[in-house]
Amino acid sequence: MSTSNAYYIPHKATWPVLATAGLLTTLVGFANYLNGSSIGSTLMIAGLTIFIIMIAGWFTLQATESESGMYNHGVGVSYRMGMMWFIFSEIMFFAVFFGTLWYTRNLSVPWLGGEGAKAATNELLWSGFSAVWPTNGPGNVGGHFEPMGAFGLPLLNTLLLLTSGVTCTWAHHGLIAKKRTQLIQGLIATVALGFLFVLCQAFEYHEAYTEMGLTLGSGIYGSTFFMLTGFHGFHVCVGAIILSVVLFRSAKGHFTPENHFAFEAAAWYWHFVDVVWLGLFIFVYLM
Amino acid sequence: MKKTKQLFVGVMLATIGLQTAQADYTLNLMQGVTKVSNDIYDLHMLILWVCVFIGIAVFGTMFYSMYHHRKSRGHQAANFHENTTVEIIWTIIPTIILVAMAIPATKTMIELDNVQNSDMSIKVTGKQWYWDYDYLGTGVHFESHLDAASEKAHRDGSDPHTVPHYLLNVDNPLVVPVGKKIRFVFTAADVIHSWWVPDLGWKKDANPGFINEAWTQVDKAGTYRGQCTELCGRDHGFMPIVVIAMEQPDYEKWLASTLAKQEEKADLSDLSREQLMTKGSAVYMTNCVACHQIDGAGAPGDYPALRGSAKVNGGIDPLIGFLQAGTSKMPSFAKLKDNELAAVITYIRNAPELGNKVGDEIQPKAITPVYDDE
Amino acid sequence: MSAVTAEHGHDDHAHGPEKGWLRWIITTNHKDIGTLYLLFALAMFFVGGSMAMIIRAELFEPGMQFVDPKFFNSMTTMHALVMVFGAVMPAFVGLANWMIPMMIGAPDMALPRMNNMSFWMLVAGILLIASTLFMEGGAPAGGWTLYPPLVLQTGKALPFAIFAVHLLGVSSIMGAINIVATILNMRAPAMTLMKMPLFVWTWLITGFLLIAIMPVFAGSVTMLLTDKFFHTSFFDAAGGGDPVLYQHIFWFFGHPEVYVMILPTFGVASTIIPVFARKPLFGYSSMVYATASIAFLSFIVWAHHMFTVGLPISGELYFMYATMLIAIPTGVKVFNWTATMWKGAMTFETPMLFSISFVVLFTLGGFTGLMMSVAPVDFQYHDTYFIVAHFHYTLVPASVFILMAAGYYWMPKWTGHMYNEKIGQLHFWLSAISVNVLFFPQHFLGLAGMPRRIPDYAIQFADWNMVSSIGGFIFGASQLLFLWIVIDTIKGGTGEKVSDEVWEDAHKHGLEWTLPSPVPYHTFTTPPSVIPCDHG
Ligand code: HEA
Ligand code: HEA
Ligand code: CUA
Ligand SMILES: [Cu+2]
């Protein structure tokens, strides 16, 4: 219908409103759930259902439009920019939690322990507490816990994710070289490694909760540990789901060496998730 | 436009200035009574004048242009749109001005920060919604609440103009000696508060779980008033500060008498019903009214009503226990002396303004320590 | 004259608008979405303004008159949230939607579907936050800064408010990404970066700010959520956290946030003033660099909101110096505007009046900002009405006035009808005078020692509060004139036929004036080849 050199302007967008409705319902449900109201979980399920339908519908629409050649080069650039800036916003989101970790390790915990500019804090309010990391604070919040070591599952997970970064790039090479089997195998490997990572992390959490006494409630160590790794894990899931969609589309024969924005976006996202993990491994586990 | 504005403000200033006979009325920053507060005042005036001066220059130019370079006066538009020299000049001049301002500001900042070599320390704890003062090392320790007259006036709607120092008066003021370097350490029990007495020249936040330090040296005896300046909930507007600076001998007398009063054992002899109710009402106004309100109606969703409450109107011992222990949402009142507790319980069970009428009275001796704070 | 025509009726894309109300829900047209944003923002201005009227009524005289102290705090909190996130920010996004494609010669926004979504997410966010007014325990009452531990005492409203912030964040990020992508990718080939109107430049930079800060705000409130419901200790000393940490994160967002509300303002002023001075903008490139410097500096000055929280002295000094620096690029802007007017041939239609008063009153607000940046003196000013005066000067007679100016300036282009100039002028004079009666006395109050966020005050503050309230009521009532004008102009205005360029020689200043008035539903389906560039 449209000439391929004009910038494609879609009309009659129904998915965005549905997306909003889904998200709003989910959040209202979650808020109600947190407030202990019984309709909370029902609303959440309803909202998520709408949301999943929306995602499926919207992705399908984009895929069909893309495959029917409606997107010219300009549209592709806009999508790439959109994705890049979106990833930048995600970086800022993670920066908050890394910043929190930095602040608590280098400022608030030492202050509570009587070091630096606020030594009187320790003397008058928390005498007897000395600043060491990891800590659950002078109030010993959440009781005794064992910190998470770096060289068991976390190291394995690092290897898993790094490998998945490689397989993802390998798949990309396959796509560019028009080797569809390589593309598909690479993607399968990437997705599989991603889910394996999540599985390992689930084990890790399970062990933390049941055997190490380490929970979200274990003072600032538990808080930062689970917040950072949890949000990261969530991003791995999202990335793996997006990659699965890309895999599915590749299997259907979508994407050309010139035109494969969806693949690129998913790959960028995956690498971003990878890099965040490296940061986590260093700052949360190693240091 | 600016003229109109000036005229307007001028006229208003004049009319209102005239009818305002209040002595403590100011338009400008207070100069205060410490060296630091005077330094700050000078800095304030310096920047103010710099701004006024730049303002006159910029707005003057602009209004000149608006008047002379109007189309209606037949002015033809010029076509320039760049001039590197002027642009450099008007970048450099402000920079110089800023540096000139930063130097005295840095000096004052460093002076303010130096809490070393103090003569005494007072620990200030902000609580919802009163201050708690602890003279470190002397044993003097008391709470400072909004005074009863203001408390009553703002709650029952009577005319604030009839209350002396409306909202700026407390039951127990902070007393300090003049000419001594006093170090304050601030913290809070619940949420963040901020301790501000303008005459001392600064405010400092009281953060729960941390200590902030500040110091002052008051050179002039007198009474200085201030308020909590960090939003701390419903009654943030109702937790004033009063500092009385006294000559050293007076201060020592005050210290001794406060200590003596503090160590006095509560008088546990029986009280008449009227005595219980009067005392109970006072205790209620200081300790309970902030949450349960003057008519005992509480605040739906936050604080339960005492009016008609089963707990209030039920058995005495559970009530005593409840008040002494507190809950996660209501503070413990183990700090009340037995006679105060007896009085307030009698009061909440029987006060017509709270709508309860159990008809009994509780004597101080009936209070048994269910929960002990110490 | 104009190399651009908007005749493209046979083009396949150029559907007219959808019929009926559905048009407004599923639209992807930048003009429709711009209109939605602007009308929504106007509505929210009235909602937030009504809350301000409740505040001013309670503060009319000492003593508690109308509302409960906690409800008063809710009003303060909600007033600010609604004004900031519901009125001023969306209004600028609305202007961006309407004007940026037309200013750079683009057919539409880069990501039209996402454009629609960011609008509806905004509505969802505001609905969610507004719904808290009706909840058990009341709306959030901890101030718009949502400081813990106080905000954690909020009742049922807390998770709703937090999720509302998430939705508003998502909406702003999507809106900003769209704007940035549009500006970088959709310009007509001849529209080089240094030919872009300043409004576009300021939005490019603002877009970047938004993408960088909204996730930070989202992160900070997420930690509030987990502290309240999932036992974390981010802001609790007992567990090793620190309530002040929240303030650092909040202001890392919050300070750039206030520039989000002022940079596009600068852009609009730089667009309007040259037109009515009949002169090119003075110092175009220094304006661009100044904007970029302000944006950069905005990331490294956040703790000037926290001078009294007990920062180590090195921190106090650093943040003081860094903050003072902002006066330099901002000064460049003020001087440039003055130089633009200098030796012009000025006329004073309503948009120009609002723009001039913006320059004057914003500078006033900037001066008080500079005063507060001096840390030891801020020990006195902090959390008093002096601050309230400062930021209302930078927000009301600056941001809001410029939004009014933009409305008057572009409404003829949007609707094809001329607004009623007499009423416009009346609106201006009433607003400009009353806004000063409203906010100027607040300086005196603050200096005399009146803290902010209090529902009742000591007797010595009574007079100026009454003056301020009276000013507030007049200012509020005057805004009804604006409402009237908007409705009247949409319905036909003065009936006068407006020309394409509306303002004398406006076509020299911007592409939008080369388009017909009212603008057709689709513009620039083929990019224009000639770019008016009146800035050197
Ligand atoms: C649009 C909004 C906006 C803008 C533009 C500004 C601009 C500035 N603000 Fe403001 N500010 C707010 C909105 C804004 N602010 C808000 C909302 C708050 C309170 C939040 C809250 O607590 O709820 C606040 C609070 C606030 C504080 C915290 C006060 C406190 O809580 O104790 C400080 C302190 O430094 C500050 C400083 C400044 C400075 C230095 C500027 C500068 O950008 C101003 C620069 C401009 C000029 C200086 C004028 C023009 C310059 C010249 C003519 C050149 C020559 C001049 C000289 C060399 C003097 N602001
Ligand atoms: C863009 C932001 C913005 C805008 C536009 C405004 C606009 C106004 N603000 Fe706002 N305000 C803030 C942002 C803003 N404010 C912020 C961030 C705070 C800090 C909050 C905090 O401390 O947490 C604050 C706090 C604040 C306070 C301090 C409250 C306190 O500390 O307790 C006051 C008090 O006077 C006030 C007043 C006003 C008034 C009178 C207007 C007026 O300009 C509004 C005018 C508009 C109308 C009135 C609506 C239109 C008219 C009608 C609806 C018709 C009906 C009217 C009548 C019958 C009169 N504001
Ligand atoms: Cu205590 Cu405000
Ligand atoms: Cu700021």
- Omega cis (within 30) before C518: yes
Q: What is the mean pLDDT of residues C235-252?
A: 95
- Residues near A247 by beta carbon (within 8 Å), at least 6 away in sequence: A184, A187, A188, A191
Give the relative orientation of helices C30-58 and C401-415 as an angle to the nearest 10 degrees.
Answer: 150
Q: What is the mean pLDDT of residues C336-353?
A: 93
Residue C475 has pLDDT above 90, yes or no: yes
Residue with the larger pLDDT of the pair B137 and C493: B137
Q: Are A197 and A156 in contact (CB under 8 A)?
A: no
Return the pLDDT at A198.
94
Cα(C372) to ligand 4 centroid in Å equals 10
SS3 state at C111: coil
Q: Are C128 and C163 in contact (CB under 8 A)?
A: yes
- Which CATH code is given to the segment(s) B23-72+82-113? 1.10.287.90
Residue B369 has pLDDT above 80, yes or no: no
Residue B56 has pLDDT above 50, yes or no: yes
Return the pLDDT at C20.
78
A121: closest CA of chain B, how far (Å) = 5
Return the pLDDT at B352.
87
Distances (CA, A) of C199 to A99, B244, C143, C202: 33, 56, 32, 5
User: Residue C196, Cβ neighbours under 10 Å: how many?
Assistant: 23
Q: Which two tokens stand for residue B310?
A: 């089963």
Q: Are B200 and B33 in contact (CB under 8 A)?
A: yes
Return the pLDDT at B216.
94
Per-residue model confidence as pLDDT tens digits over C80-103: 999 999 999 999 999 999 999 999
* C58 noted as active-site residue: no
CA dist A90 and C23 (Å) reads 33
Pairing of strands B174-177, B240-246: parallel
Catalytic residue among C31, C305, C392, C443: C305
Return the pLDDT at A117.
80
Q: Are C315 and C305 in contact (CB under 8 A)?
A: no
Per-residue model confidence as pLDDT tens digits over B137-156: 888 999 999 998 898 888 88
Q: What is the mean pLDDT of residues C278-282?
A: 91
Q: Are C273 and B77 in contact (CB under 8 A)?
A: no
Q: Are C73 and B236 in contact (CB under 8 A)?
A: yes
Residue C219 has pLDDT above 90, yes or no: yes
CA dist A258 and A243 (Å) reads 19
Burial C509-536 (b: 16+ CB within 10 A, else e): bbbbbbbbbebbebbbbebbeebbbbbe
Percent of chain C past pLDDT 70, that is, above it, reads 96
Residue B8 has pLDDT above 70, yes or no: no
Ligand 3 atom 1, closest CA? B193
Ligand 2 atom 58, closest CA? C477
Cα(C254) to ligand 4 centroid in Å equals 7
B-chain residues within 8 Å CB-CB of A121?
209-211
Residue A230 has pLDDT above 70, yes or no: yes
Ligand 1 atom 17, closest CA? C391
Asked if the Cβ–Cβ distance from B212 to A124 is below 8 Å, we say no
Return the pLDDT at C170.
95
Return the pLDDT at C335.
95
Q: What is the mean pLDDT of residues C364-389?
A: 95
DSSP codes of every residue in C59-89: TSSSS--SS-HHHHHHHHHHHHHIIIIIIIH
- Residues near C197 by beta carbon (within 8 Å), at least 6 away in sequence: C103, C267, C271, C509, C510
Cα(B229) to ligand 3 centroid in Å equals 6
Query: Is any Cβ of chain B less than 8 angstroms from the Cβ of C125?
Result: no
CB-count burial class (<10 Å; 0-12, 13-18, 19+) for B37: buried
Q: Count of residues for chain A?
A: 287
Among residues C370, C250, C126, the alpha carbon closest in space to that of B95 is found at C370
Cα(C305) to ligand 1 centroid in Å equals 10
Residue C14 has pLDDT above 80, yes or no: no
Per-residue model confidence as pLDDT tens digits over A245-258: 999 999 888 888 88
Query: Of the segments A54-63, A119-128, C50-59, which one has the largest average pLDDT value?
Result: C50-59
Q: Are C247 and A147 in contact (CB under 8 A)?
A: no
Of A111, A112, A125, the CB nearest to B187: A125
Q: Count of residues for chain C?
A: 536
**Does domain B120-263 sit in CATH 2.60.40.420?**
yes
Q: Which residues are registered as beta bridge partners of B64?
A: none
Q: What is the mean pLDDT of residues B66-87?
A: 86
Q: Which residues are registered as beta bridge partners of B70?
A: C346
Return the pLDDT at B300.
80
A82: closest CA of chain C, how far (Å) = 6
For residues B117, B118, B121, B124, the Cα torsion angle rounded to the nearest 10 degrees is -100
Query: Is any Cβ of chain A less than 8 angstroms from the Cβ of B123?
Result: yes
A-chain residues within 8 Å CB-CB of C26?
12-14, 17
B206 lines ligand 3 (CB under 6 A): no
Distances (CA, A) of C469 to A67, B159, C432, C438: 62, 19, 15, 6
Q: Are C358 and C265 in contact (CB under 8 A)?
A: yes
C-chain residues within 8 Å CB-CB of B98?
324-325, 327-328
Size of interface A-C (CB pairs under 8 A): 219
Q: Are C363 and C284 in contact (CB under 8 A)?
A: no
Q: Are B101 and C324 in contact (CB under 8 A)?
A: yes
- Residues near C308 by beta carbon (within 8 Å), at least 6 away in sequence: B194, B202, B203, B204, B205, C378, C379, C382, C383
CA dist B322 and B223 (Å) reads 39
Per-residue model confidence as pLDDT tens digits over B107-119: 999 999 998 889 9
Per-residue model confidence as pLDDT tens digits over B200-213: 999 999 999 999 99
C-chain residue closest to B84, CA distance: C283
Per-residue model confidence as pLDDT tens digits over C173-192: 999 999 999 999 999 888 88
B226 lines ligand 3 (CB under 6 A): no
A-chain residues within 8 Å CB-CB of C12?
1-2
Range(s) for CATH 1.10.287.90 in chain B?
23-72+82-113
B47 lines ligand 1 (CB under 6 A): no
B-chain residues within 8 Å CB-CB of C319?
none
Catalytic residue among C56, C195, C333, C417: C333
**Using CB atoms, which chains have 3+ pairs under 8 A with B?**
A, C
Q: Are B183 and B120 in contact (CB under 8 A)?
A: yes
CA dist C308 and C372 (Å) reads 12
DSSP state of C304: G
Residue C6 has pLDDT above 80, yes or no: no
B291 lines ligand 3 (CB under 6 A): no
C362 lines ligand 1 (CB under 6 A): no
DSSP codes of every residue in C361-410: HHHHHHHHHHHHHSHHHHHHHTTBHHHHHHHHHHIIIIIIHHHHHHHHHH
- With cut-offs at 50, 70 and 90, classify the pLDDT of residue C531: confident
- With cut-offs at 50, 70 and 90, classify the pLDDT of residue C298: very high
CA dist A104 and A95 (Å) reads 14
User: Domain C2-186+193-514 is classified in which CATH homologous superfamily?
Assistant: Cytochrome c oxidase-like, subunit I domain (1.20.210.10)
Determine which of A38-42, B24-28, C26-30, C508-512 has the lowest per-residue pLDDT on average. B24-28
* C452 noted as active-site residue: yes
* C248 noted as active-site residue: no
Percent of chain B past pLDDT 70, that is, above it, reads 92
* C431 noted as active-site residue: no
- Residues near B103 by beta carbon (within 8 Å), at least 6 away in sequence: none
Catalytic residue among C30, C255, C392, C509: C255
- With cut-offs at 50, 70 and 90, classify the pLDDT of residue C346: very high
Residue A150 has pLDDT above 90, yes or no: no
Return the pLDDT at C240.
92
C382 lines ligand 1 (CB under 6 A): yes
DSSP state of B245: E
Residue B321 has pLDDT above 90, yes or no: no
Residue B53 has pLDDT above 80, yes or no: yes
Query: Is any Cβ of chain C less than 8 angstroms from the Cβ of B90?
Result: yes
Query: Is any Cβ of chain C less than 8 angstroms from the Cβ of B302?
Result: yes
C124 lines ligand 1 (CB under 6 A): no
Among residues C357, C423, C389, the alpha carbon closest in space to that of B3 is found at C357
- Residues near B64 by beta carbon (within 8 Å), at least 6 away in sequence: none
* C304 noted as active-site residue: yes
Distances (CA, A) of C30 to B29, B307, C111, C179, C223: 50, 58, 10, 11, 36
* C330 noted as active-site residue: yes
| Strand arrangement of the beta sheet that strand B182-188 belongs to | B140-144, B130-135, B120-127, B182-188, B212-216
**Does domain B273-366 sit in CATH 1.10.760.10?**
yes
CA atoms within 13 A on the CB side of B6: 4
Return the pLDDT at B5.
54
Calculate the CA B91 to chain-centre distance: 42
DSSP codes of every residue in C15-68: --PPSSTHHHHH---HHHHHHHHHHHHHHHHHHHHHHHHHHHHHTSSSS--SS-
Q: What is the mean pLDDT of residues C8-32?
A: 72
Q: Which residues are registered as beta bridge partners of B170?
A: B146
CA dist A75 and A234 (Å) reads 29
A-chain residues within 8 Å CB-CB of B211?
118, 120-121, 123-125
Per-residue model confidence as pLDDT tens digits over C147-156: 999 999 988 8
With vertex at residue B360, the alpha carbon angle to CA B355 and CA B364, rounded to the nearest 5 degrees, is: 115
Return the pLDDT at C213.
96
To test the pocket of ligand 2, the residue of C79, C386, C453, C481 to mutate (highest count of ligand atoms within 8 Å of its CB) is C79
CA dist A189 and A197 (Å) reads 12
Say which residue the tokens 């003055």 belong to: C338
Helix (H) or strand (E) holding B206: strand B202-206
* C172 noted as active-site residue: yes
User: Residue B85, Cβ neighbours under 10 Å: how many?
Assistant: 7
- With cut-offs at 50, 70 and 90, classify the pLDDT of residue B20: very low
Return the pLDDT at A103.
95
Range(s) for CATH 2.60.40.420 in chain B?
120-263
Residue C41 has pLDDT above 70, yes or no: yes
CA dist B193 and B89 (Å) reads 45
B124 lines ligand 3 (CB under 6 A): no
Distances (CA, A) of C271 to A266, C10, C278, C524: 40, 34, 11, 21
Q: What is the mean pLDDT of residues A215-225?
A: 93
Among residues B47, B172, B127, the alpha carbon closest in space to that of B332 is found at B127
User: Residue A138, Cβ neighbours under 10 Å: how many?
Assistant: 24
Query: Is any Cβ of chain C less than 8 angstroms from the Cβ of B227?
Result: yes
* C246 noted as active-site residue: no
Per-residue model confidence as pLDDT tens digits over A80-106: 999 999 999 999 999 999 999 999 999
Catalytic residue among C27, C171, C340, C355: C171
CB-count burial class (<10 Å; 0-12, 13-18, 19+) for B159: exposed
Q: How far apart are the first and last CA of chain B?
A: 67
B-chain residues within 8 Å CB-CB of A129?
none
Residue C5 has pLDDT above 50, yes or no: no
- Counting ligands in written order, the one closest to the CA of C301 is 4
Asked if the Cβ–Cβ distance from A96 to C185 is below 8 Å, we say no
- pTM of this prediction? 0.94
CA dist C338 and B58 (Å) reads 8
Residue C216 has pLDDT above 90, yes or no: yes
Residue type, C288: V
Asked if the Cβ–Cβ distance from B210 to A124 is below 8 Å, we say no
Per-residue model confidence as pLDDT tens digits over B152-179: 888 888 888 888 899 999 999 999 999 9
Catalytic residue among C257, C316, C378, C512: C257
Q: What is the mean pLDDT of residues B182-192?
A: 94
